[in-house]
């Protein structure tokens, strides 16, 4: 009989020649269970999605209740759909007052596209500034602002008028001018291998954008919802973006993204031409109730408290002669090794010992550590023990 693995390779489009091949039967909290019943600690959270853990009971309950009412009804922005209305209201209630208007989409890259378009429409300018080693998604606009030529060259021509600066380098902020529609930046760079900017840099960035009339887009698709130790990563920097990008953990395990801005800014999508950004499924009712339940769980269960301490515990335990550096903020972390071969071997050894870790798109000699925020102190000790044991075998 042909196996699932063979069918997967045959019928499902592949994105690399060496997929992970783990076949999960079910998932719960921090754990994944494969088809043979073996359990794995998930230290990747489906790439920063499962912040509240897999299959949170409140999310499941909300989804089931919504399934009994309706699923898709019509395109975004026409009918009054209470799941989307309530979710936007809750999201706005935890954001600074300037960020009071939410456009729900389906994914992170679509949030990026919407935000880039919105910036051009609002400012009447075309210039976009992005960062080297950035990642904002894989569609054409998002690819245009990706800071890694290797992933882009095959798809040129891309968007014109895109300039790149070095993340964290204050001198480069001069490149933001009166021709700049927007600066798009991850508050904490993820795929670059987790790079945390300084307070002074982020404040100067905000100031420069304001002076030049350029919109500041902060991409927190990976960093939001408690991952860095605050609900939103920008909170630690005392700044507010003009547009905030959300996805991944936004849906509590369901697909949904959003770009959030001020009502006045967002208003330009309504006319000249109307329907400035269109999506059929954006803000899907089932994803919206899941997102609302997830955000409610984060707040009610106080899941953000303790994230910084948990990150510190990881860091204090991850001491090994093969580790060059442990970077990060809260539970958005990377372990810097020397080579990709080491990263691959450690990942394989950890998987064999029941711990899932991964690497980064633009930094393949570092290991990605982004567990659900619910991970306990004891589980952190077990997980780091497995990682250190794997490093011993290098
Ligand atoms: N922005 C950041 C910072 C990301 O990490 C990602 C995905 O990894 C995206 C955007 C794109 O999100 P999606 O895969 O949902 O399109």
* CA nearest neighbour of 39 among 355, 371, 394: 355
Average pLDDT value for the chain:
98
Q: Rounded to an integer, what distance in angstroms lies between the CA atom of residue 165 and that of residue 214?
A: 15
Nearest CA, atom 1, ligand 1: 136
Query: Ligand 1 center to residue 174 CA distance, Å?
Result: 27
249 lines ligand 1 (CB under 6 A): no
> Which domains does the chain carry?
9-56+302-392 (3.90.1150.10), 58-300 (3.40.640.10)
Nearest CA, atom 12, ligand 1: 108
Query: Ligand 1 center to residue 136 CA distance, Å?
Result: 5
Q: Is 180 helix (H, G, I), strand (E, B) or coil?
A: strand
pLDDT digits (tens, 9 = 90+) for 24-73: 999 999 999 999 999 999 999 999 999 999 999 999 999 999 999 999 99
- Residue 131 · residue 201 · CB < 8 Å: no
Position 78 confidence tier, pLDDT thresholds 50, 70, 90: very high
Nearest CA, atom 7, ligand 1: 137
Mean pLDDT for the stretch of residues 124-147: 98
- Per-residue tokens: 298: 């984060």
Atom of ligand 1 nearest to the CA of 186: 3
Residues 6+ away with beta carbon under 8 Å from 93 = none
pLDDT of residue 259: 98
Query: Ligand 1 center to residue 193 CA distance, Å?
Result: 14
Q: Rounded to an integer, what distance in angstroms lies between the CA atom of residue 12 and that of residue 132?
A: 32
137 lines ligand 1 (CB under 6 A): yes
Helix (H) or strand (E) holding 331: none
Residues 6+ away with beta carbon under 8 Å from 315 = 326, 328, 333
* CA nearest neighbour of 103 among 288, 261, 296, 291: 261
Query: Ligand 1 center to residue 221 CA distance, Å?
Result: 6
Q: Rounded to an integer, what distance in angstroms lies between the CA atom of residue 187 and that of residue 207?
A: 15
How many CA atoms lie within 13 Å of 261's alpha carbon, on the beta-carbon side?
24
332 lines ligand 1 (CB under 6 A): no
Query: Ligand 1 center to residue 6 CA distance, Å?
Result: 28
Among 48, 145, 247, 282, say which to mutate for ligand 1: greatest number of ligand atoms within 8 Å of CB: 247
Query: Ligand 1 center to residue 321 CA distance, Å?
Result: 32
- Candidate from 1-5, 102-106, 369-373 with smallest mean pLDDT: 1-5
Q: Rounded to an integer, what distance in angstroms lies between the CA atom of residue 139 and that of residue 114?
A: 12
pLDDT of residue 170: 98
Q: Is 154 helix (H, G, I), strand (E, B) or coil?
A: helix
Question: 189: which strand partners?
Answer: 195
CA Rg, the chain, in Å? 21
Handedness of CA 265, 267, 271, 273 (dihedral sign): positive
Q: How many CB atoms lie within 10 A of CB 223?
A: 30
Distance of CA 78 to the CA centre of its chain: 28
247 lines ligand 1 (CB under 6 A): yes
Position 228 confidence tier, pLDDT thresholds 50, 70, 90: very high
pLDDT over 70, % of the chain = 100
190 lines ligand 1 (CB under 6 A): yes
Mean pLDDT for the stretch of residues 146-168: 98
- Per-residue tokens: 132: 């080297």
- Per-residue tokens: 296: 């409610």
Position 374 confidence tier, pLDDT thresholds 50, 70, 90: very high
pLDDT digits (tens, 9 = 90+) for 282-326: 999 999 999 999 999 999 999 999 999 999 999 999 999 999 999
Atom of ligand 1 nearest to the CA of 189: 3
Query: Ligand 1 center to residue 137 CA distance, Å?
Result: 5
Strands 325-329 and 332-336: antiparallel
Handedness of CA 389, 390, 393, 394 (dihedral sign): negative
186 lines ligand 1 (CB under 6 A): yes
Residues 6+ away with beta carbon under 8 Å from 227 = 48, 51, 233, 249, 307, 330, 331, 332, 370, 373
| Phi/psi-derived region of residue 156, left when phi > 0, alpha when psi is between -120 and 50, beta in every other case | beta
Q: How many CB atoms lie within 10 A of CB 235?
A: 15
Nearest CA, atom 10, ligand 1: 136
Among 134, 217, 221, 234, say which to mutate for ligand 1: greatest number of ligand atoms within 8 Å of CB: 221
334 lines ligand 1 (CB under 6 A): no
Among 104, 108, 188, say which to mutate for ligand 1: greatest number of ligand atoms within 8 Å of CB: 108
What does pTM read for this prediction? 0.98
310 lines ligand 1 (CB under 6 A): no
Residues 6+ away with beta carbon under 8 Å from 267 = none
pLDDT digits (tens, 9 = 90+) for 81-108: 999 999 999 999 999 999 999 999 999 9
Q: Kindly list the distances between the CA atom of residue 250 and the CA atoms of 7, 295, 358, in Å, as whole numbers in the listed order.
A: 32, 8, 21
Among 145, 186, 193, 222, say which to mutate for ligand 1: greatest number of ligand atoms within 8 Å of CB: 222
Interior/surface letters 4-23, b for 16+ CB within 10 angstroms, e for the rest:
eeeeeeeeeeeeeeeeeeee
Cis bond upstream, residue 157 (ω within 30): yes
Please name the residue ranges forming H helices in the chain: 4-11, 45-48, 57-67, 82-93, 108-123, 140-144, 149-152, 199-212, 263-266, 285-300, 307-317, 340-352, 377-392
Q: Rounded to an integer, what distance in angstroms lies between the CA atom of residue 230 and that of residue 224?
A: 8
pLDDT of residue 308: 98
Mean pLDDT for the stretch of residues 212-216: 98
Burial of 49 from C-beta contacts in 10 A (0-12 / 13-18 / 19+):
buried
Mean pLDDT for the stretch of residues 378-390: 98
147 lines ligand 1 (CB under 6 A): no
Distance of CA 47 to the CA centre of its chain: 7
Nearest CA, atom 13, ligand 1: 108
């Amino acid at each position: 009989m042909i196996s699932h693995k063979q069918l997967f390779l045959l019928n499902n489009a592949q994105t690399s020649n060496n997929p992970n091949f783990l076949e999960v039967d079910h998932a719960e909290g921090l754990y994944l269970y494969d088809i043979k019943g073996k359990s794995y600690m998930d230290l990747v959270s489906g790439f920063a999605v499962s912040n509240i853990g897999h299959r949170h009971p409140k999310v499941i309950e909300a989804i089931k209740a919504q399934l009994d009412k309706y699923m898709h009804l019509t395109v975004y922005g026409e009918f009054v759909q209470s799941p989307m209305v309530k979710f936007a209201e809750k999201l706005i209630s935890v954001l600074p007052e300037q960020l009071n208007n939410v456009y729900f989409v389906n994914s992170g890259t679509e949030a990026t596209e919407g935000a880039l378009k919105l910036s051009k429409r609002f400012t009447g300018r075309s210039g976009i500034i992005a960062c080297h080693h950035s990642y904002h998604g894989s569609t054409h606009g998002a690819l245009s602002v990706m800071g890694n030529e290797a992933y882009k060259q095959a798809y040129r021509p891309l968007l014109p008028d895109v300039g790149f600066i070095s993340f964290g380098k204050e001198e480069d902020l001069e490149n933001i001018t009166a021709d700049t529609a927007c600066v798009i930046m991850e508050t904490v760079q993820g795929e670059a291998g987790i790079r945390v900017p300084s307070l002074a840099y982020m404040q100067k960035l905000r100031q420069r954008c304001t002076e030049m009339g350029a919109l500041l887009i902060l991409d927190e698709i990976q960093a939001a919802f408690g991952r860095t130790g605050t609900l939103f990563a920008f909170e630690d920097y005392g700044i507010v973006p003009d547009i905030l990008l959300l996805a991944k953990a936004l849906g509590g395990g369901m697909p949904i993204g959003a770009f959030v801005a001020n009502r006045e800014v967002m208003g330009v999508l309504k006319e000249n031409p109307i329907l400035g950004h269109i999506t059929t499924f954006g803000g899907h009712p089932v994803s919206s109730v899941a997102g609302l339940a997830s955000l409610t769980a984060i707040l009610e269960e106080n899941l953000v408290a303790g994230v910084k301490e948990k990150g510190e515990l990881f860091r204090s335990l991850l001491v090994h002669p093969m580790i060059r550096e442990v970077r990060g903020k809260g539970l958005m972390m990377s372990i810097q090794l020397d080579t990709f071969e080491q990263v691959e071997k450690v990942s394989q050894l950890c998987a064999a010992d029941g711990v899932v870790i991964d690497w980064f798109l633009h930094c393949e000699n570092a290991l990605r550590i982004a567990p659900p925020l619910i991970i306990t102190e004891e589980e952190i000790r077990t997980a780091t023990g497995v990682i250190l044991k794997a490093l011993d075998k290098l």
